[in-house]
Amino acid sequence: MLRYLALGACLLAGAVQAESWTARPLREIAVYPESRAPAQVVPLDEARLAAEVGGRIVALPAQQGAQVARGALLARIDDRQYRIELERAEAQLRVLTSRARLAEAQFQQAESLAAKNFISPDGLRIRRTELEVQQSELAAARANLAAARLALDKTQVRAPFAGVVRERQASVGDLAVPGTPLLVLAATGHTEVRARVPAAQLAALEGARAWTLVAGASPLPLKLERVSPLVDKATQTREVIFSTSEPVPPGTAGEVRWMTPVPHLPAAYVQQRDGRPGVFVVRDGKPVFQSLPQFQPGRPVPVALPLDTAVVDQGRQTLGAAR
C-alpha cells in the first residue's frame, strides 16, 4: 500500500511540475524593431545657370568641384558690344536732356508772353505739346539706358548663393545665346535628407521619438520636417524630408533608421493553439490565451497591451488554451 501511495505522490508532483509557469512584465521582454529606408542628402538649392545675353564666352574661372562664395564670378561673356550700346544710350540721354530743358524754357517763356497777350492760346498749347513730347522721349532714353546697363551687367554671371560647381556645361570660346547652359551650382550651406518610405510604415515613422542618418562611421541625428502627400505610383512610397544638425556633403547616400514606438512581442513567445497564433497573459492569477491574428512567422508582432501586462515566460509551451 505504501508503495502505491508513493507512486501516486510522484505522479501528482510530476503533473504539478508540468503545469508550472512563470511570468514577466511585457516591458521586460518587449522589443522595438528598427526600420530603415534608403536616403540621400540633397542641396536645398541647385541652380542651373544659363546665359541671359548673347556673346562669346571669354572666361569661366570656376572649375568643376570648386567651392565658391555668394557673388563670386562664375562666367564672363564678351561685353564690348554691350559697352558700345551703353555709351550710345548715355549719349542719347544727354541729347534728349538738353532738348527737354530747351522745351521747358520755351514753354515758360510762352506762358509769360501769353499772360501779356503777346502769344495766342494755340501758340501756348503748341509749346506745351512740344515739352510733353520731349519729356516722353527723355523718359524713354532713361529706360534705354537702364536696359543697356542691365544687359552689360548680365555679361557677368555670378553665384546666387554659396555652393560647389557641380558641373560645367560650356567652355571658354563657346558662342552663347540667351538660354545657353553654363554650369550647375549646388548649395552647400543648406541641405536636407530625403528618404523614400513605404506608405505602410509612415505611422510608425511619424510616431518614432528619434531618427538617425547612417551614412558613414558616425550616425547623425535627424529632425523630421515634413512628409510629402504624394505617393509614388510605382513603389507606393512617400518622400519624407529631414534636416540635420551638422553639415553633410550633398550627394551622400545612406539610410534613415528609426525605432518603432509600438511594443513588439518576440516571435518565440507566440504559441499556436487551435490553429490560432497568440500569447499567454496572466489575468486574475491565471494564464489566458490572447489571440494575435496579425502575427507573421519568425517576426516580432505588435501588441496593444499595457507594458505592465504579465506575459507567461517559462512553461508557456506546455500550457493549454484557457477558456
Same domain, 133 and 220: no
What is the structure's pLDDT at 19? 57
Same domain, 229 and 248: yes
Decide if pLDDT at 87 tops 90: yes
Decide if pLDDT at 89 tops 90: yes
- pLDDT digits 0-9 by tens, 91-112: 999 999 999 999 999 989 988 8
Q: Is residue 15 part of a domain?
A: no
Q: Is residue 4 part of a domain?
A: no
Q: Lowest mean pLDDT of 50-64, 127-141, 205-219, name the range.
A: 205-219
Same domain, 61 and 180: yes
Range of the domain at 216: 34-44+188-259
Same domain, 202 and 249: yes
Query: Directed axis angle between helix 121-153 and helix 80-115, to 10°?
Result: 160
The total of structural domains in the chain comes to: 4
pTM over 0.95: no
- pLDDT digits 0-9 by tens, 252-263: 899 999 988 888
